[in-house]
Structure 1
Amino acid sequence: MTDVMSPTEAETDRALKARHRTMWALGDYPTLAVDLISPLGPALVAASGVGPGDRVLDVGAGSGNAAIPAALAGARVTATDLTPELLDAGRAAARAAGAELEWEVADAEALPYPDGHFDAVLSCVGVMFAPHHQRAADELVRVVRPGGTVALLAWTPTGFIGQMFATMKPYAPAPPPGAQPPPLWGDEAHVRTLLGERVTEVTATRGTVTFDRFGTPEDFREYFATHYGPTIVVRRSLADDPDRLAALDRDLVELARRNDRGDGSLVLDSEYLVVTARRA
């Protein structure tokens, strides 16, 4: 169980979560999820092995990239996220897909569910953005039943999206004390440490998803500058420093150029890690 915070710590945490909620409501993450990462949710659901009748929790569900495929596989799904706007988009996507599931606002670091309530807990590039990794991992394990499954998909530190976060880091406001970088969830050793001896049968596999909708590196930069909350926040923090903003934009273009494997149009491969485990 997560340690109880003091009143001051609790107030600081609420302010931090409010900033996260605002960040993910910026731009158009639901469209980005469809355009760029739609294969990831089904890949995670397949790796988890969830099926008809399973009680499944999707943590950091966003607009349902994993939750909707899990529901279509017959699971009884509760999709949670800190950002209501993403859940609203998920409800619409679920209706269009003919999927039935529950959508609830919840903090990954303080899930409002009893111990051992779910057969499986999933998170597809979601829980990795919770600032306090151990708190979030403790909650993932707590709410899954003994013998149940934890299945996580996260960007690796060395993959393209991990490199993008490293590119933005020198330009971003300093993180609050205790916050950890999201791509650490894509490091197998880090995730094993977070889950600890509370789980068994840990497996870790790597995969890649290809971004091929951008004609040029500049197109990539512009898309993320208008669609992706973390990029929007960093760029807004530089509004009074046009030279640094221009430098960030150049660095993002160079990042795409350096990773391009296309011939005439931009083709980028981004690596991710899938970890599955069974609660002891």
Structure 2
Amino acid sequence: MWALGDYPTIAADLIPELGEILVEAAGVGPGQRVLDVAAGAGNVAIPAARAGADVVASDLTPELLTAGRAAAAQQGVDITWDEADAENLPYADDTFDAVLSCVGVMFAPHHQASADELIRVCRPGGTIGLINWTPEGFIGQMFATMKPYAPPPPPGAQPPPLWGHEDHVRVLFGDRVDEVTVRRQSLVVDAFDDPDQFREYFKAGYGPTVAIYRGISSDTDQVTALDHDLSELARRFDQGTERMQMAWEYLLFTARKVVR
């Protein structure tokens, strides 16, 4: 799904600052060994490397890793890029000083399995740092809007925006973390002139949206209805005047792996 469209361009156009925010919140610095899980094209990995960390970026989608390698080379940073499943990471226990993910791990279908892996590969006393879209925020509501048009999820799969719910994340990690900090923050997005431009941009470039439109492509009524619903969603969140301006809410979560 994430190889559809052009996620690296979307991430670069709309959410580049989120990686910097997470790297700063996690206290990443020189000499640390950092893992970026579900890294995409390196939205977190690249600023972590610029901060002086020794960075490994892992993702399940080879096409995103290829884009990430190119972006890292262009910016002159050295990162190790690994094809890896967030639910079954190929790293030893207690390997990394910080394990981070920015709107990435939330899309792995089995939340507890992913959380267990994040904890497992982080050293005792190390940092877990996450940014996830909230269910109530714009991207969470976009997934709710698209859900009636999508095929049923696989058995046991959980909705990605649950990772943006504080109680859900606290349950996933339980007593294996302490020094927990949780904040709801918003990213201001003003890249679109109007709701229809937003819809067409995501329709062409955002993997989950591309996949849903492909699934209903033979039903013109469904396509028309989804077109309308996505434009109306953007219109509902628009706070701008001459140009669209939306606030996309996310949950910033940091914690320390307990030393036992």
TM-score (norm 2): 0.98
Q: 2:132 aligns with which of 154, 176, 184?
A: 154
- AA paired with 1:163? Q
Distance, in Å, in 2 between the alignment partners of 1:50 and 1:216 is 38
Name the counterpart of 2:12.
34
In the alignment, what sits opposite 1:227?
Answer: 205
Aligned alpha-carbon RMSD (Å): 0.6
**CA deviations over 1:182-237 (Å, ceiling 9, x no partner):** 00000000000001111111110111111111111000000000110000011111
Q: CA deviation at 1:96?
A: 1.2
Amino acid in the other structure paired with 1:206: R
* Aligned with 1:79 (options 52, 57, 82): 57
Match of 1:176 in 2: 154
1:154 aligns to what SS in structure 2?
A: strand
Counterparts of 1:193 and 1:110 in 2: how far apart (Å)? 20
Q: What is the Cα deviation at residue 179 of structure 1?
A: 0.2
Q: CA deviation at 1:95?
A: 1.0
Please report how far the alpha carbon of residue 58 of structure 1 lies from its aligned counterpart in structure 2 after TM superposition. Answer: 0.3
Deviation at 1:265, TM superposition (A): 1.5
Distance 2:41 2:180 in 1: 27
Question: Can you give the 5+ residue segments of structure 1 that lack an aligned partner in the other structure?
Answer: 1-22
Partner of residue 134, structure 1: 112
| Pairing partner for 2:95 from 117, 121, 126 | 117
Query: CA offsets, 1:145-199, max 9 Å, x none?
Result: 1000000000000011111001001111100110000000000000000011111
Q: Report the 3-state secondary structure (helix = DSSP H, G, I; strand = E; otherwise coil) of the residue aligned with 1:269.
A: strand
1:15 — aligned with what?
Answer: none
| Deviation at residue 267 of structure 1 after TM alignment | 1.0
Distance in 1 (CA, whole Å) between partners of 2:199 and 2:242 is 17
Q: Matched residues in 1 for 2:163 and 2:27: separation? A: 21
In structure 1, distance between residues paired with 2:77 and 2:205: 26
Query: Whole-Å Cα distance in 2 between the matches of residues 113 and 259 of structure 1?
Result: 41
3-state SS of the aligned residue for 1:32? helix
**In 1, Cα distance between the equivalents of 2:6 and 2:81?**
19
Using the alignment, how far apart are the partners of 1:245 and 1:193 within structure 2? 38
Deviations 1:92-111 (A, max 9, x none): 11111111110000000000
**2:242 aligns with one of 264, 270, 276:** 264
CA distance in structure 2 between the aligned counterparts of 1:263 and 1:29, rounded to whole angstroms: 28
Give the Å deviation of 1:249: 0.8
Within 1, Cα distance between the matches of 2:63 and 2:221?
33
Give CA deviations for 1:49-85 in whole Å, capped at 9, x if unaligned.
0110101000000000000000000000000000011
Q: Count residues with an aligned counterpart.
A: 258
1:167 and 2:145 are equivalent in the alignment: yes
Q: Deviations over 1:30-61 (max 9, x none)?
A: 00001000010000000000110101000000
Q: Which runs of 5+ in 2 are unaligned?
A: none
Aligned to 1:49: 27
TM-score by length of 1: 0.91
Q: Which amino acid aligns with 2:52?
A: G
Distance 2:219 2:204 in 1: 19
Runs of 4+ in 1 over 6 A off after TM superposition: none
SS at match of 2:242: coil
Correspondence 1:193 to 2:164 = no
